[in-house]
Chain A
Amino acid sequence: MNEAELNKLIERDARSYNEPPAPPLDAMWAAIEAQDWTRAASTDTSGGSATRGRVRRWMMDRRFQAAAVLLIGVAIGRLTLARTNTQATAATTNPTTEQTRVASAVPDTGFAAPYQVTTSRYLGQTAALLIALPADTHHMNAAENQQFISRAGDLLTTTRLLLDSPAADNPSMRNLLEDLELVLAQVVHLRAAPSRTELDLIHQALDQREVLPRLTNAAADISAAN
């Protein structure tokens, strides 16, 4: 490609590169006004500690999005598998055996619809939080830890409410909720700057009790039941 051809291409198409939308002037101004400019000037000697914090938050949000996408993928996969198994069973067995097999493949999630909706949402949010749990302390600052711990606190409250609800009548669901209560309580008791050991203990608890696979399976089972 020669210079003239490149010029032609740039002239025609470069302006659409990262084409900016209209700037959200008022929203940005509100955020700027909320800052203490004098303090920012005296403390910002390294070129943007505030920026670094925001970039970390942005990355944190992306991690939550990725975790949510992962969970949805697992749920869809499980749902597809459950339906395939059901069809295969129907093709090879008589009606009586078929009913028994389907019942054993899909755990009893026959509690009232409002609890199913709440439980399904809760399982998704908890899975997203636990998948996003960092493996070490380098990826998060104190503010992000606080945000993480606050989310875990909300989910712990929901866990305890669900344990006292018809949703926990199913033994396997009760076991899962009890394990989640334990893990979430560990997360809630993390300090603002957790040590590597504290995080390792939580990861060990997750692994030993196979919490994440059970969590995603339960979420998929409720979706399948619905």
Chain B
Amino acid sequence: MREPELIARVIAGDRIAARELYDAHAPRVFRLAFRLTGDADLAREFTQDTFVRAFGQLSRFRGDAALSTWLHRITVTVVANAMRKVKRFRERETDLEAAEPLHMEGSTSDPILRHRLHTAIDALPEIYRTTLIMHDVEGYTHGEIAQVLAVAEGTCKSRLSQARAQLREALADLAPELES
């Protein structure tokens, strides 16, 4: 069944069609939510919220963009709104589970370099971090990111450029190690 037909059936209350749409899009929504939060419980909650909101508002989906873009826009909004509160909480509380393992299975890269890179990404301002994760980690195009974030493509490119500049500065001392 084609996606527009599925959407029409979901709007009419067909839960089997809803499950079909969910199966097609949930893995990538969860992926994005996890990349942005780094927490399986939160990613799961935000994925659920994305679909509850999406199904509830599906009649407002005009089809101007792809359904996936619309879903990812909801995901980014849900995550951004909720993570402000989570970050405030994390700043006050010591998170004993946050320590990142230095060795990851199946990776041949230097764990210290990797840890430094991940820490530097964590420290980016949220708009830059989201753009960098979507582009450099998840492989979205600038056009897709611009649609999801509802900004001009040029803004998206500029944010990525800023994000990378901040990473270069934060990781400047690692240059000799990368050369070796």
Taking Cβ atoms with an 8 Å cutoff, the residues of A that contact B are 1-3, 5-6, 8-10, 12-21, 23-25, 27-29, 31-33, 35, 37-42, 44, 47-48, 50-52, 54-55, 58-59, 62-63, 65-66, 69
Q: Could you give, for residues 80-99 of chain B, a 1 whenever the CB lies within 8 Å of some chain A CB and a 0 otherwise?
A: 01100110010001111000
Point out the residues of chain A lying under 8 angstroms from B77, CB to CB.
47-48
Contacting residues, chain A, for B64 (C-beta < 8 A): none
Q: Is the CB of A6 within 8 A of B167?
A: yes
Chain A residues, Cβ within 8 Å of B95: 62
Residues of B within 8 A of A52 (CB): 81-82, 85
> Any chain A CB within 8 A of the CB of B128?
no
Q: Point out residues on B near A: beta carbons under 8 Å.
A: 15, 19, 22-23, 26-27, 30-31, 34-38, 40-49, 51-53, 55-57, 77-78, 81-82, 85-86, 89, 93-96, 104, 107, 109, 113-114, 117-118, 121, 133, 136-137, 164, 167-168, 171-172, 174-175, 178-179
Nearest Cβ on chain A to B147's Cβ, whole angstroms: 19
- With A and B bound together, what is the CA distance between A62 and B89 in angstroms? 10
B114 touches A13 (CB 8 A): yes
A residues near B175, Cβ cutoff 8 Å: 1-2, 5
Q: Which residues of B contact A18 (CB under 8 A)?
A: 34-38, 118, 133, 137
Which residue of the partner chain, among B26, B96, B136, contacts A28 with CB atoms under 8 Å? B26
The minimal Cβ–Cβ distance linking B27 to chain A, given in whole angstroms, is 5
- Name the distance in Å between B123's Cβ and chain A's nearest Cβ: 12
The winner among A14, A21, A27 for most chain B CB atoms within 10 A is A14
Question: Are A23 and B56 interface neighbours, CB within 8 A?
Answer: no
Q: Shortest beta-carbon distance, A161 to chain B, in Å?
A: 33
Chain A contact residues: helix, strand, loop or mixed: helix
CB distance from B176 to the nearest CB of A (A): 10
**Do the beta carbons of B56 and A41 come within 8 Å of each other?**
yes
Q: Which residues of B contact A48 (CB under 8 A)?
A: 49, 53, 77-78, 81-82
Taking CB atoms, residues of chain B closer than 8 Å to A28 are 26, 30, 44, 47-48, 51
A20 touches B43 (CB 8 A): yes
| Contact call A47/B78, Cβ cutoff below 8 A | yes
Residue in A18, A19, A52 whose Cβ sees the most chain B Cβ within 10 Å: A18
Kindly list chain A residues whose C-beta atoms are within 8 Å of the C-beta of B113. Answer: 9, 13
A1 with B178, Cβ < 8 A, contacts A28-B30, A69-B96 known: yes
Q: How far is the CA of A161 from the CA of B33 in the complex (A)?
A: 46
The reply to whether A10 and B51 form a contact with Cβ atoms under 8 Å apart is no
In angstroms, Cα B167 to Cα A105, docked, is 57
What residue in chain A is nearest B118 (Cβ atoms)? A17
With A51-B78, A59-B89 as given contacts, are A44 and B164 in contact (CB-CB < 8 Å)?
no
A25 to B178, CA, bound (A): 39
Give the chain B neighbours of A31 by CB distance below 8 A: 48
Whether the Cβ atoms of B82 and A13 lie closer than 8 Å is no
Contacts A16-B118, A17-B121, A17-B133 aside, 16 further interface pairs with beta carbons under 8 A come to: A6-B164, A6-B171, A9-B174, A13-B113, A13-B117, A17-B117, A21-B40, A28-B26, A28-B44, A28-B51, A29-B26, A48-B53, A51-B78, A51-B81, A54-B45, A59-B89
Q: Quote the shortest CB–CB distance from B98 to chain A (angstroms).
A: 11
Output the least CB separation between B116 and chain A (Å). 9
- Whether A55 pairs with B114 at a CB distance below 8 angstroms is no
